[in-house]
Chain A
Amino acid sequence: MTLYLMTFFLFLVGLYGATTKRDIIKIILAIGIMGYSVNLFLILIAYRSGAIYPILTKSLGKELMVDPLPQALVLTAIVIELGITALLASLAIRIFEKYKTFDITQVRRLKG
């Protein structure tokens, strides 16, 4: 329970960074932190006390293993996170070229 709450807290730290920071690089890092916390949460809910990793080896008999499904999901989620980082980084580089700044409050030709 406290572990879940700490993960949730990490998620909210990331959300705080993504909504309030002015620096584009900080926003990208904050999005990354949110991704980490979700991945950790998915693996936390998969853990079974006293269980081992879900890979058979010849020497092992029938032992309790952790839930493998969330691990498969997190593998996909990590790749997606890498994709969004790459895309955001390339957008940030182009924005820097055009505006000569990483300050989101000065990147403001649009009024929305």
Chain B
Amino acid sequence: MITPYFVIIPLFAAFLIALIARKKENIAAGIALIVGIILCIMSIYSFVLLSGNEGAIYYHFSNWKAPITISLVLDYLSSFMLIIISVISLIAIFYSLQYLNHYTGKWQFFALFMLMITGMNGVALTGDFFNLFVFIEISLFSAYSLVAFGCEAEELEAAFKYAIVGAISSTLILFSVGILYSITSSLNMADVGRLLLNEKSKVIYLVYGMMIVGFGLKSALVPFHAWLPDAHPSAPAPISSMLSGVLIKVLGIYALIRVFFNVFGAPQIFLQIILILGIISMVVGGLMSLMQWDIKRLLGFSTVSQVGYIFLGIGLGTPLGILGAIFHLLNHSIFKALLFMNAGAVEYALDTRDMKQMGGLSKKLPITSTTSMIGSLSISGIPPFNGFFSKLIIIIACIQAGHPIYAGWAILISIITLAYYLKMQRFTFYGKQNFKKIFEKVPFTLKTSMIILAGLCVISSVLIIPGIKEVTLDKVTEVILDKTKYIEYIKPLILGGR
């Protein structure tokens, strides 16, 4: 049973780093790297393992049965999220080995990084509402600290805003969990889903509202997005790519999908709200990105816009829409991580994030420039790269579901995306040279990580080829759309003993 080890291993590593590696930074980095590799192998293995276990593995703690104790549910959706978490985090750990040369406190960085992975893995696996809240808090606490890692004024300010927003949203989620417990007297997600089938009280709408606001704040949907363009750029580059690439997806989008599709059974009012908010965030994020001159802020607003695409796909509620959303989620985590790492490399070389002080870098930093070009083309949806396919699926799904206007918006924003990324390329890597001198060359681990991610941008398009699609993305889509399977397993165990 490998399920609990996804949480135990990084947790153990974090405590171990705090115990033995406080003065020895290389040991801390080594432990983190080893854990990253182990988790990466385990997560891919878990996806393979599922096909032999009818698509779901359940694990119960402390030797008790489900509604009494906490259960972990490993199905294709969880496994998919685990793969994203572990692959991106492994690359981010590798990237930060040399990126952290200019920071103090390496061991705190790696310990907090391990705790962030613990929290996200816990969220992806848990089958219990209160446990979801606890693990959200673990990953958020480490995220606040890592955003403020540089201890500059702006970073502290961004971390404070993020912490306030995070605390409000977590409190809302806890309140709604309390209401759910009151009407069902259970905390297990599957059990709650089963009991809500014949529950017709109005208070459930209050729960919907609180959950949408709570998880919407975490995933930066537009009325709740104000913290993201501050918090994500302020962090060190590997953390920015973790936050934008993985954290908001696990805490916001994954949690919303799990709660609303598998537990509440995709109520129509939820789909409508998510659809509208998704389109608004797509448009607002895109337009705001056009006006940015700080390279990382531009990427931050771009995240808001791309998250809008994902929510558009989810809000359609059709199998094709959800397939597109899932695929775009994977792709976005790859190329947004890549783009933040590029920005980090540029910042490492020039010590500035202002695009007006760059220009003509393509000759000095050829690898950074090339990989950044690949990332930009992917995110704006140019054919050979993965972003094209996921956006295409979402647009086709819009037309198929009878919303051609939404498809039009998606195409328009895709063009705007291309425009602001071309602007970024033009002012950063091409055109007139505006910087004075390059402080330092981009080190080895930074280059390697960027090349790997750029390779993944091309490779992940393979997932959409018929034949491979059926065993990967379609399985994930099935889990989301099939509510009965998720809640079924709890039935024979009601109030069971050991």
The interface of chain A, by Cβ under 8 A from chain B, is 11, 15, 18-19, 24, 27, 31, 34-35, 38, 41-42, 45, 69-70, 73, 76-77, 80, 83-84, 87-88, 91-92, 94-95, 98-99, 107-110, 112
The interface residues of chain B, by DSSP majority, are classed as helix
User: Is the pair A95, B156 in contact by a Cβ cutoff of 8 Å?
Assistant: yes
**A41-B178, A73-B130, A76-B134 as given contacts; A109 in contact with B167, CB under 8 Å:** no
Residues of chain B within 8 A of A34, CB atoms compared: 167-168, 171
Cβ B175 vs Cβ A91 within 8 A: no
Q: What is the bound-complex CA distance between A38 and B228, given in angstroms?
A: 26
Which B residues are CB-close (under 8 A) to A42?
A: 178, 181
A91 touches B174 (CB 8 A): no
Evaluate whether A110 and B151 lie within 8 angstroms (CB atoms) in the complex, with A45-B182, A77-B174, A88-B163 already known: no
**When the two chains form their complex, are residues A109 and B178 in contact, meaning their CB atoms are under 8 A apart?**
no
Closest to B168 in A: A18
Overall SS of chain A's interface: helix
Q: Are B160 and A80 in contact (CB under 8 A)?
A: no
| Residue B157 is within 8 A (CB to CB) of chain A in the complex | yes
Interface size range of chain B in the complex: 20 to 34
Question: Which of the residues B137, B144, B160 comes within 8 Å of A95, measured between beta carbons?
Answer: B160
Residues of A within 8 A of B134 (CB): 76, 80
* Complex: chain B residue closest to A77, CB-CB: B174
The interface residues of chain A lying within 8 Å CB-to-CB of B148 are: 91, 94
Expressed in whole angstroms, the Cα–Cα distance for A59 and B157 within the complex equals 57
Set of chain A residues within 8 Å of B153, measured between Cβ atoms: 95, 98-99, 109
11 CB contacts below 8 A, A to B, read A11-B175, A38-B171, A45-B181, A77-B174, A80-B134, A80-B137, A87-B141, A91-B156, A91-B163, A95-B156, A95-B157
Shortest CB distance B221–A (Å): 15
Residues in chain B near residue A70, CB distance under 8 A: 178, 181
A87 touches B144 (CB 8 A): yes
How many whole Å from B240's CB to the nearest CB in chain A? 15
**What is the CA–CA distance of A90 and B338 in the complex, to the nearest angstrom?**
32
- Of the candidates A80, A84, A112, the one whose C-beta lies within 8 Å of that of B226 is A112
